[in-house]
Structure 1
Amino acid sequence: MDEEALNLSIRKFLKMVGVGSQREIEQAIAAAIASGAISGTETLAASVRLEIAGLGLKREFDGEIRLQ
């Protein structure tokens, strides 16, 4: 195994997930505020599931997103 290649590959994957997730969350929040579904002052529960089938890895990460 090439540790450097692994590290770069993981970083690239996490950057793609982070940037894509942030964009999706921002768009969903803007749409929910525009539709009146939320006021923009909430704290929203959030979770992410990491799965790597080839390793049998399944892990959930829970947190929150504060709008104020």
Structure 2
Amino acid sequence: MNDDTFNMSLRKFLKQVGVTSQRAIEQAVQEGVATGQLKGNEVLKARVVLTLEGAGAPHVVEGDITLE
């Protein structure tokens, strides 16, 4: 394994995950507020499940996203 190649590839993947996830969350919240499904003062429970095919069990990250 080439550590430099692995590190660069991992950082690129995590940047993509972060950017696309933030956009998806922002869009979902905006739509929820626009349709009245959300009031805009909620604390939303969030969960991300990371899986690597052929390498170990899934990794779960959970947290809260506060709108106000």
| TM-score class, shorter | over 0.9
**CA RMSD of superposed structures (Å):** 0.7
TM-score, reference length from structure 2: 0.95
Match in the other structure for 1:35 = 35
Match in the other structure for 1:63 = 63
Q: Which has the higher helix share?
A: 1
Structure 1 consecutive aligned stretches of length 4 or more whose deviation exceeds 2 Å: none
Give identity over the alignment, percent. Answer: 46
Residue 56 of structure 1 and its aligned partner are, at CA, apart by: 2.5
Alignment map for 1:1-68 (pairs within 5 Å)? 1-68=1-68
Paired positions, count: 68
Q: For structure 1, which runs of at least 5 residues remain unmatched after alignment?
A: none
Q: State the distance in 2 between where 1:3 and 1:16 align.
A: 20
